């Protein structure tokens, strides 16, 4: 993330990098290096046009062809060498790209391939829970069609590499619920959202990964996951309809399994792009120039929790001390008092616009909202940082949300909600950062990062474009953050073969979904001017209907957090 609160919002640069010789960049070692640039970036376009290079084609920005062309070449993304022993850096076989889908709960999703023959799933990525599960031999699951998306269902009987996990297995936590040691191990995971859970049996099968180096070697990793026979609550309505990929610290999570098998280092990184796209890499330990703070480990329920020692808003600093969970499965940030009040009041004191007074037709879930005139083209919100243990400051590039309350009238709000006890740093506070979850050193690392740049970007980094990408409209309901309340496990290598619903189809469908559900600002002068203005091209200017927003945040109220075993 950039420090500037009103920095430029970048062009949507998707899943392809081109090693373009746009000029040498100084590397950290002796000699010259060349920077990677996105194939369809303005920088490369300008370079080609000035040289009248024939046969160069750029699909129209925002068109389905644009996304499909980039996604098809996702694996051309640079590889990175592992900093130390412990295996290669790995990512999903269909690419390391992630995408935030507002129409599916504002969570980040990735495409994964499971089983033999492989079946592809669009799974939500969640650092706040541990178990990876997919819909399986369903008794109660989300619909298999969502707009242009057609979801697969896993079945152990249709995979030649699937194995049951028995109640005698050390991963089976609900052995007391088993009729016998040779029975399949049941599981149930409950989440913070009311009446939201997944239950079924544990199985083992192949998760297809690939090395992030020049060889792009396919790795067939046997992993444990949940065969989700019954889903309830939010999983039936809007979020994670095709599975949830738990990235937590328990032994059953995929990062833990990959590390225990010696396939990667016990660390991974996620990049949260300003344009809604990102990256995930297993075994990645970050870089020497990243900021870091220690993880605070609770043995009863280990999570990515950090200590915050203060909040900086503009030129004001308060010594507010609290701990917070870093959770990619939560869209917005939740803070309890006194942290919430200190942040909100400091923000309010430094905002230029008039405080919005709610009326009967617009009841907001956010407490601090401000009026914007139809002709306004800039928002200059104060810069926000969170001071962490060790002195490093976590920059917050995406603290606001723009809400359209009616035609020609919009407001913006501080996108932080007040909780009754649990503090969660959600996705909106991670935007623009590459976040490293180093479970070996027990540190959280972060760095301002363009998710499409090479590690040593020199001074030829791809600059933010003047083009914005409107976020997709939100669904009529919304899921509570995926953070786990209580997790109890209760109720020969082959080549990757394409499934009936291949990942290429799924990728194209996702792109169509994003395009077709993007807001159309007909007659909305405020939205158009905001999108044109260089001063307001910033990370994630989310616009949404106020009725929907109120509905989903009402559903996502924080309940008392209960750790495992509570």
- pLDDT (average), residues 391-415: 87
327 in catalytic set: yes
Helix, strand, coil percent content, the chain, rounded in steps of 5: 15, 30, 50
Residue 49 lies in a domain: no
Nearest Cα to 270, choosing from 130, 113, 100? 100
**Which of 152, 327, 450, 524 is labelled catalytic?**
327
Nearest Cα to 227, choosing from 149, 150, 91, 131? 131
Contact yes or no for 524/407 (Cβ under 8 A): yes
- Do residue 501 and residue 428 come from a single domain? no
- In tens, the pLDDT along 207-251 reads 999 999 888 899 999 999 999 999 999 899 878 999 999 999 999
257 φ/ψ angles, rounded to the nearest 5 degrees:
-65, -45
49: pLDDT strictly greater than 80: no
* Least confident range of 88-92, 498-502, 550-554: 498-502
392: pLDDT strictly greater than 60: yes
- Do residue 365 and residue 479 come from a single domain? no
- In tens, the pLDDT along 128-182 reads 999 999 999 999 999 998 877 789 999 999 999 999 999 999 999 888 888 888 8
- Of 159 and 11, which is predicted with more confidence? 159
pLDDT band of 87, cuts 50, 70, 90: low
- Do residue 483 and residue 544 come from a single domain? no
Residue 2 lies in a domain: no
Residue 419 lies in a domain: yes
pLDDT band of 418, cuts 50, 70, 90: very high
- Do residue 100 and residue 169 come from a single domain? yes
CA distance 557 to 400: 19
Q: What is the DSSP letter of 430?
A: T
**Which of 74, 126, 173, 205 is labelled catalytic?**
126
In three-state secondary structure terms, 503 is helix
Structural domain for 319, as ranges:
291-457+522-555
Strands 267-272 and 433-438 come out as antiparallel
Nearest Cα to 133, choosing from 64, 81, 68, 202? 202
Residue 13 lies in a domain: no
- How many domains does the chain contain in total? 2
Q: List Cβ neighbours of 79 (8 Å cut-off, separation of 6 or more).
A: 89, 211, 212, 213, 214, 215, 216
39: pLDDT strictly greater than 80: no
248 CB neighbour count, 10 Å cutoff: 27
- In tens, the pLDDT along 259-298 reads 999 999 999 999 999 888 999 999 999 999 999 999 999 8
Token pair, residue 384, equals 């926000």
pLDDT at 507 (0 to 100): 56
Residue 38 lies in a domain: no
502: cis peptide before it, omega within 30°?
no
* Least confident range of 31-45, 157-171, 344-358: 31-45
Ranges of beta strands (E only) in 357-490 are 369-372, 384-388, 393-396, 400-406, 409-414, 416-418, 424-425, 433-438, 443-448, 484-488
For 488-519, b where at least 16 C-beta lie within 10 A, e where not — what string? bbbbeeeebeebebbbebbbbbbbbbbbebbb
Query: The whole model's pTM is what?
Result: 0.71
CA distance 194 to 181: 33
* Least confident range of 100-109, 202-211, 465-474: 465-474
205: pLDDT strictly greater than 90: yes
pLDDT at 413 (0 to 100): 92
Contact yes or no for 91/209 (Cβ under 8 A): yes
- Do residue 235 and residue 346 come from a single domain? no
- Do residue 314 and residue 204 come from a single domain? no
pLDDT band of 335, cuts 50, 70, 90: very high
Contact yes or no for 327/342 (Cβ under 8 A): no
222 φ/ψ angles, rounded to the nearest 5 degrees:
-70, 120
| Percent of the chain at pLDDT exceeding 90 | 45
pLDDT at 148 (0 to 100): 77
- Do residue 277 and residue 161 come from a single domain? yes
For 258-279, b where at least 16 C-beta lie within 10 A, e where not — what string? bbeeebbbbbbbbbbbbbbbbb
CA distance 358 to 534: 29
467: pLDDT strictly greater than 60: no
* Least confident range of 100-114, 286-300, 359-373, 501-515: 501-515
Residue 296 lies in a domain: yes
pLDDT at 336 (0 to 100): 96
Q: List Cβ neighbours of 341 (8 Å cut-off, separation of 6 or more).
A: none
352 φ/ψ angles, rounded to the nearest 5 degrees:
-80, -35
CA distance 267 to 111: 20
- Do residue 107 and residue 197 come from a single domain? yes
126 in catalytic set: yes
DSSP string, 465-483: PS---PPPPP-SS-PPP--
pLDDT at 484 (0 to 100): 53
**The most confident of 54-68, 251-265, 492-506, 543-557, by mean pLDDT:** 251-265
- Do residue 402 and residue 283 come from a single domain? no
* Least confident range of 31-45, 333-347, 426-440, 449-463: 31-45
**CATH number of the domain that 435 lies in?**
2.40.70.10
- pLDDT (average), residues 461-482: 32
369: cis peptide before it, omega within 30°?
no
- Of 544 and 394, which is predicted with more confidence? 394
What's the mean per-residue pLDDT of the chain? 72
Residue 468 lies in a domain: no
pLDDT at 512 (0 to 100): 54
- Do residue 271 and residue 303 come from a single domain? no
- Do residue 376 and residue 425 come from a single domain? yes
Nearest Cα to 565, choosing from 367, 344, 298, 376? 298
Residue 312 lies in a domain: yes
Kindly give the interhelix angle for 503-516 and 64-72, rounded to the nearest 10 degrees: 150
- Do residue 125 and residue 255 come from a single domain? yes
* Least confident range of 174-178, 353-357, 537-541, 543-547: 537-541
């Amino acid at each position: 993330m950039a420090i500037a609160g009103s920095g430029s919002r970048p062009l949507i640069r998707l899943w392809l990098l081109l090693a373009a010789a746009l000029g040498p960049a100084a590397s950290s070692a002796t000699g010259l290096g060349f920077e990677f640039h996105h194939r369809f970036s303005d920088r490369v376009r300008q370079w080609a046009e000035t040289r009248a290079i024939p046969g160069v084609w750029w699909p129209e920005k925002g068109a389905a062809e644009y996304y499909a062309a980039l996604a098809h070449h996702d694996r051309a993304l640079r590889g990175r060498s592992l900093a130390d022993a412990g295996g290669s850096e790995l990512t999903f076989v269909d690419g390391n790209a992630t995408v935030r889908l507002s129409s599916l709960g504002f969570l980040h999703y990735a495409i994964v391939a499971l089983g033999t023959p492989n079946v592809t799933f669009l799974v939500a990525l969640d650092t706040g829970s541990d178990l990876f599960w997919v819909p399986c031999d369903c008794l109660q699951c989300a619909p298999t069609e969502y707009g242009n998306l057609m979801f697969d269902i896993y079945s152990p009987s249709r995979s030649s590499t699937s194995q049951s996990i028995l109640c005698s297995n050390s991963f089976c936590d609900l052995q007391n619920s088993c009729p016998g040691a040779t029975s399949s191990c049941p599981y149930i995971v409950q989440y913070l959202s009311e009446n939201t859970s997944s239950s079924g049996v544990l199985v083992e099968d192949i998760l297809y990964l690939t090395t992030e180096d020049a060889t792009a070697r396919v790795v067939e990793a046997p992993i444990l996951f949940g065969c989700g026979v019954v889903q309830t609550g939010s999983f039936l309505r809007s979020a994670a309809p095709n599975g949830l990929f738990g990235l937590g610290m328990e032994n059953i999570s995929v990062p833990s399994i990959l590390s225990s098998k010696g396939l990667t280092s016990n660390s991974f990184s996620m990049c949260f792009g300003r344009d809604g796209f990102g990256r995930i890499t297993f075994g990645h330990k970050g870089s020497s120039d990243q900021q870091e703070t220690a993880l605070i480990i609770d043995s009863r329920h280990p999570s990515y929790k950090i200590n915050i020692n203060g909040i900086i808003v503009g030129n004001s600093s308060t010594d507010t001390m609290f701990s917070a969970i870093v959770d990619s499965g939560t869209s917005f940030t939740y803070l309890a008092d006194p942290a919430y009040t200190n942040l909100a009041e400091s923000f309010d004191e430094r905002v230029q616009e008039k405080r919005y007074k709610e009326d009967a037709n617009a009841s907001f879930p956010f407490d601090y909202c401000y009026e914007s005139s139809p002709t306004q083209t800039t928002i200059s919100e104060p810069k926000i940082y969170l001071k962490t243990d060790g002195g490093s400051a976590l920059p917050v590039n995406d603290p606001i949300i723009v809400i359209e309350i009616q035609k020609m009238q919009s407001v913006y709000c501080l996108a932080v909600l007040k909780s009754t006890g649990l503090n969660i740093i959600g996705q909106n506070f991670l935007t623009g950062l590459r976040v490293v979850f180093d479970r070996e050193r027990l540190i959280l690392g972060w760095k301002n990062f363009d998710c499409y740049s090479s590690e040593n970007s020199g001074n030829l980094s791809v600059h933010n474009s003047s083009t914005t990408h409107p976020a997709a409209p939100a669904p009529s309901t919304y899921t509570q953050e995926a953070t786990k309340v209580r997790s109890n496990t209760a109720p020969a290598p082959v080549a990757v073969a394409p499934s009936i619903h291949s990942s290429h189809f799924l990728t194209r469908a996702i792109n169509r979904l994003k395009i077709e559900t993007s807001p159309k600002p007909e007659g909305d002068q405020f939205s158009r001017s905001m999108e044109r203005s260089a001063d307001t091209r910033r990370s994630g200017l989310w616009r949404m209907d106020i009725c929907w927003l109120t509905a989903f945040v009402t559903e996502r109220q924080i309940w008392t957090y209960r750790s495992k075993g509570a």
